[in-house]
Amino acid sequence: MAPHRPSVLAGLLVLAFPAALALPAAPRPLHAQEGAGVPSRLPLKLPPRPTGAAISPADLMTRLYQFADDSMGGRATGSVGHLKSTAYLAAEAERLRLTPAGDPGSYYQVLPLLVRRIEPGSAIQVRARRFEVGREFGVLITDVPGGWLPDSAEVVYGGVLDDTLTQITEAEAAGKLVLLDPDRRTLRLSPASYRVARGARFSRALAVVVPVWESLGADAQRTLLTPVAEPPVPPPAGDLPPHPPTLLVSRALGAALRQVADSGVPGERVGLEIALRESPVARNVVAILPGSDSALNREFVVLGAHSDHDGVRAPSSAAADTIMNGADDDGSGVVALLEIAEALAARPVAPRRSVLFIWHAAEEQGMVGSGWYTGSPTVPLDAMLAMVNLDMVGRGGRRDIGQGGPRYLQVVGSRRRSSELGSLVDSVNAARPTPFRFDYSLDASNHPERIFCRSDHASYARYGIPVVFLSTGLHADYHQPSDEPHRIDYLKLTSVTEYVLDLTLALADRPGPLKLDRKKPDPDAPCRQ
């Protein structure tokens, strides 16, 4: 689930786990105690084993222990781990013989996000000395398009970073590398704090250079060199980027640049061998189970979950585990959809309407994947009967939530566009042998948690598509390395998955559309809780 502070921040790697391996059996049967929230006796690791048509704790476990394994590296958008995780989903969709519904002929819908990295071997040549990226400098590349630096440039001393009285004018900075001295306070800032080129004084500089590389420390240096997934940067309107980049350089490189700036040699330049590479990295995984009724199979029930999480946090002495595996957020929703797809694919007759399965990318960056899909859908938006979104559906015991337990389930948004959808959500639950105890409190208008606006269903609701969001709720392991597969309540996850299958069938097989009794929203308006 996306945090309160959304930010916009994977790709063609073909790696997938085999779906049917003859491997050791699952651990002993689970026993979820009332109120415990976390079943006991679960291993830290579990080898994969074949999955079957029936939805079961064992199948959900084998899937989630693969999907939220350390080898996925926390599935940060733009990372190799996220590419691996989406490759696994596409391989499973192909194994189940679902129809590709991403870009033409593919299970993948590539998002307009690029990983942008300074190429290894990039360097700055100052007279006879060569300074290499990663050893002597790093580059803040936000808002910088490819090909932004020429092969050489003049250097000018620009003053002290936070002292405008010492700084040169805009005209003096134009088109040059501007070397700034840090003051004592700025030596303690993070790399992001050095984006000083946004003011008018340096807006026409080629780049701003600050000699603080050593003071950043090893962790911050690694962060600075880590590839960043962002939207493409348009070419500059003029000769220079709209926000010149900042080079954080070593004291030695700073001193060498200062010698050039102070030399007074007319036209002396330094060599810039800095290459910026951009490559597409983020992708939704989209597949369709075609409906069996020729009169209804061009309508769709949409099932969604998000495949990304938060990657690897910076190491600290307080925590040995740094990988944010996101087993509940949203590995639980991801594997629930896989189980539903396998169950439906095994039925002798498919549901009457088609079922669209979509595993969104970049939800944690502000629902980027679902926003891109609804803006560039591969099936018509007006053919979507309803959208069911699962995000964090594997916990919700009393240790997680005071009123929680094995039958606790949060429901958000089911009556905001169609009260008939809300009634169906309730009636399908009431028909179960052991119904869930629904918590609608988080659906209240102006609720401070703003859950209705914080997961992928919001991207569909803004276009007037009836949605329902299901979750077992936030907990202490939310966005922490401790959100691990062995903490999931697989008996409860099985019950949630079975309920969503029942709801999917009720929607897909109903004779007519849902009655829409609320006004269609303005898709460009901000989301309102």
Model pLDDT for residues 429-477, shown as the tens digit of each residue: 999 999 999 999 999 999 999 999 999 999 999 999 999 999 999 999 9
| Residue 217 and residue 149 share a domain | yes
Beta-bridged to residue 439, according to DSSP, are 410
Of 234, 263, 279, which closes a domain? 279
Cα separation of 318 and 316, whole Å?
5
What's the number of domains the chain is made of?
A: 2
| Residue 393 and residue 250 share a domain | no
pTM: 0.76
> Is the model's pLDDT at 240 over the cut of 60?
no
Is there a domain that residue 460 lies in? yes
Both tokens assigned to 332: 């639980």
| Residue 176 and residue 107 share a domain | no
Rounded (10°) CA dihedral 81, 218, 141, 14: -20
Cα separation of 124 and 218, whole Å?
21
Q: What is the pLDDT of residue 78?
A: 79
Q: What is the pLDDT of residue 199?
A: 59
Is there a domain that residue 303 lies in? yes
Is there a domain that residue 521 lies in? no
CA angle 125–127–133, rounded 5-degree value:
20
Give the range of the structural domain holding residue 237, as residue numbers without chain letter: 115-279
Closest CA to 478 of 452, 451, 501, 510: 451
Is there a domain that residue 45 lies in? no
Rounded (10°) CA dihedral 170, 171, 176, 179: -50
Q: What is the pLDDT of residue 317?
A: 53
Give the three-state DSSP class for 130.
Answer: strand
| Residue 299 and residue 204 share a domain | no
- Helix (H) or strand (E) segment spanning residue 286: strand 283-289
pLDDT digits (tens, 9 = 90+) for 2-45: 885 433 322 222 222 223 322 333 444 454 443 344 445 799 99
- The whole-number average pLDDT for the span 281-305 is 97
Q: What is the pLDDT of residue 116?
A: 77
| Residue 355 and residue 446 share a domain | yes
| Residue 361 and residue 499 share a domain | yes
Give the three-state DSSP class for 402.
Answer: coil
